[in-house]
Amino acid sequence: MTSPFDDFYAVIPAGGIGSRLWPLSRADAPKFLHDLTGSGNSLLRDTWDRLEPLTGPDRIAVVTGRAHRAAVEAQLPGIPDKNVFLESEPRDSAAAIGLAAAILHRRDPDVIIGSFAADHVIRGTRTFEFAVEQAVAVARAGYICTIGIQPSEPSVGFGYIQKGGELIVDRAPEAATVERFVEKPDLETAKEYYADRSFLWNAGMFISKASVLLDEIAANEPALHAGLMELAEAWDDRERRGPVVDRVWPGIKKIAIDYAVAEPAADKGRLAVIPGHFDWDDVGDFASLTKLIAGGRKNDLAVLGPRARVLSDAATGILVSQTSRVISLVGVQDIVVVDTPDALLVTTTEHAQRVKGVVESLKLTGRGDVL
């Protein structure tokens, strides 16, 4: 059994609307609030349950938007009020994770934090815990550590991390330096990376001493660091927090933590990686959701929704239903049908990435009522 680490705090950034999963995922009900696996729990709740053995219930913080506070607290009734960090508007991952780091560092200067997205699916609890245990050991040694996923296919949908040389750290037998980050490649390059095996998928998990993470932000984005420290100084003072957030947060720079922290740290030799040997999926679109639910069975129709009423004849793909409407699919392959009370999506798994364009079109045409 895993015991909680006394010096470790988990941070769950819970933001974004998951536009490639529209119309299932909406601004007021983003994908992390949905059960996309049939487990009976939302992705957020599954993330909490996965982390609690490593931290205990009092050492998990969630960074989310003000509009989602009630839903988050309803799904996580055990979370202390002081550990819900509310953003007035999204400012990307460096701001979200950096804010949590600054607040927790002010409360405990020696704290190690680990950031884990609220909307990813992970299967293989013990191997996940072992990867985090190693990453915490590496963080104690002064490095920023990421967990990279051993690729199961030559995917063009993820960024990659190239492992460098072995890193000698006690209790972290798989630790390695990071040679470089690589943006999403084309298919031929992805095949080369898959064959190489020194390349891992970038899953966006970062574990570090809060002080080390903040020092890296200060070196690369000094204005961002200054804003985060000002916010943290006022955060636990209820009277001061509101005015300071309203004044400072709109000026916080929008930048991903990959660019503000990870890539510069890799260039300085301060970034390490632990390979994750567990099943991982960011559920980025309906194609990945189809694989997740169907379990790799290509000749099946994956169905999601407790009230789904489906008639299927020689059909494959995915059907997501939030209505009680009878839906009949006959002789269609790799189809995606998402039926909600006010919007219907029909596409194919091949074109699943293009759903984000539909969302952009709806914004431009003033149809925000269905977003």
Reported as a pLDDT band with limits 50, 70 and 90, residue 157 is confident
**What is the mean predicted confidence (pLDDT) over 179-202?**
92
Please tell me the total number of residues recorded for the chain in this structure: 371
Bigger pLDDT: 307 vs 91 = 91
Question: How many angstroms separate the CA atoms of 272 and 302, rounded?
Answer: 38
Whether the pLDDT of residue 294 is over 80: the answer is no
Whether the pLDDT of residue 361 is over 80: the answer is yes
Question: Strands, DSSP E only, in 18-172?
Answer: 60-65, 84-87, 112-115, 121-123, 144-149, 160-166
- The pLDDT tens digits for 120-137 are 999 989 999 999 999 999
Domains for the chain: give ranges and CATH numbers. 8-281 (3.90.550.10), 286-370 (no CATH)
Reported as a pLDDT band with limits 50, 70 and 90, residue 182 is confident
Positive or negative CA dihedral for 73, 109, 258, 206? Answer: negative
Whether the pLDDT of residue 369 is over 90: the answer is no
Taking the model in full, what pTM does it have?
0.94
111 closest CA partner among 131, 139, 88: 139
What pLDDT is attached to residue 297? 64
What pLDDT is attached to residue 3? 80
Which residue type does 292 have?
A: L
What pLDDT is attached to residue 314? 92
Reported as a pLDDT band with limits 50, 70 and 90, residue 11 is very high
Whether the pLDDT of residue 295 is over 80: the answer is no
What pLDDT is attached to residue 325? 93
Whether the pLDDT of residue 37 is over 70: the answer is yes
DSSP-derived secondary structure for 241-284 = HHHHHHHHGGGS----HIIIIIHHHHHTT-EEEEEE-SEEE---
Question: Who contacts 268 (Cβ-Cβ below 8 Å, separation ≥6)?
Answer: none
The answer to whether residues 64 and 14 touch, using CB atoms and an 8 Å cutoff, is yes
Report the mean per-residue pLDDT for the chain.
Answer: 93
Which run of H or of E encompasses 346? strand 344-348
**What is the mean predicted confidence (pLDDT) over 237-256?**
95
Reported as a pLDDT band with limits 50, 70 and 90, residue 87 is very high
Phi and psi based region of residue 95 (left: phi greater than 0; alpha: psi -120 to 50; beta: remaining):
alpha
What pLDDT is attached to residue 342? 94
**What is the mean predicted confidence (pLDDT) over 44-64?**
96
- The pLDDT tens digits for 310-346 are 999 999 999 999 999 999 999 999 999 999 999 999 9
Hey, which residues does 279 pair with through a beta bridge?
A: 123
